[in-house]
Amino acid sequence: MIKFARVKSNTIPLMIIYSRNRRLRTNAAIRALVQETFLTTNDFVMPIFVMEGENKQEAIASMPGIYRRTLDLTVKECKELFSLGVKAVNLYMKVSENLKDNRGTESWNKNGLMQNTIKAIKDAVPEMIIMPDVALDPYSIYGHDGIITNGKVDNDATNDALVKMSVSHAEAGADIVAPSDMMDGRVAAIRTGLEESGFTDVGIVSYAAKYASSFYGPFRSALDSAPVDNQEIPKDKKTYQMDFHNSREAIDEVLKDVAEGADIIMIKPGMPYLDIVAKVRDVIDLPIAVYNVSGEYAMLKAAAQNGWLDNDKAIIESLTCIKRAGADMIFTYAAKEAAILLNG
């Protein structure tokens, strides 16, 4: 409501405020009553790095608090995560160099590290949701997500390999497979392969909008999965991962994966791409997963270690913002730490 006062010869509008937004920010109890977004441990998926050996763990220098662990210590970690309320893990293998080839054949070895890890976690923590990564880069001599043919990433040959890999994961006990490769048509191929193999209840979280991002550096160092420096192959992953300049393309990718049978849609990275999350939320009803990637985690940790950010507050705020943008679940290296904070 506006009233007017006459001062000398000029009429000056005086604002009388009846609608005051600050009323609902007066104290913590009122703020809690009107809070729109709630972060819980049910929102988290913890990425886990596994390596060969026994009773060993190796710190990842660029990701403080994150380790590569052998299978026995991975099982122990999963038990602790579940006790904290983190009910899902996303698995990645550190593959020995002698097991790598161009076709990624180790990725569907029934007695491989991934398959044995899935079995061991399921035996120890039956209710833990296991989401193994489906991509060839950890198994490839070239560090690419696909098979190299005549110097290029071979889309359709790669899809055949991804189907074998996914079925192998399902046979080991995976609940949801997570193809992160960005090959065209791989969701339909994997869905068909799972159905034909009798795994009708195994879901697919499709990395539908995965961008060619500079925020993946710490992850690639953790697995030694960066593309090798070879003039005869692509030097990066830009021929299959998305261009970070684009947003309409993300919607197209998402809708195609939904049509192909994806159960959950992934957007990666997270914080710098919340506009994409919000746009996708407006056009689909399927659950959305957002990956709070290694570079995001590393930046926050570096700032906190230098005293530039409050570590605990920044973790909770950043994850809440991802959920507020439209995420139903968040893949984050901070899952364990955030769970401890939320549990009080």
Catalytic residues: 210, 268
- Give the type of residue at 94: K
CB distance 105 to 126 below 8 Å: no
Instruction: Give the residue among 303, 270, 272, 250 at the shortest CA–CA distance from 47.
Output: 270
- Give the type of residue at 246: N
Length of the chain: 344
- Enclosing H/E stretch for 95: none
Task: Spell out the residues 6+ positions from residue 128 whose beta carbon is closer than 8 angstroms to its own.
Answer: 78, 81, 82, 87, 88, 89, 121, 122
Residue 331: both structure tokens together: 């893949």
Task: Spell out the residues 6+ positions from residue 306 whose beta carbon is closer than 8 angstroms to its own.
Answer: none
Q: Going along the chain, which residue ranges are E strands?
A: 2-7, 10-15, 44-51, 57-59, 67-70, 88-93, 129-134, 147-149, 152-154, 176-179, 203-210, 264-268, 288-292, 329-332
Distance CA 114, CA 110 (A): 9
Query: Residue 343, Cβ neighbours under 10 Å: how many?
Result: 11
Residue 334: both structure tokens together: 């901070």
CB distance 321 to 299 below 8 Å: no
Instruction: Give the residue among 342, 298, 344 at the shortest CA–CA distance from 66.
Output: 298
- Enclosing H/E stretch for 73: helix 71-84
CA-based diameter of the chain, in Å? 91
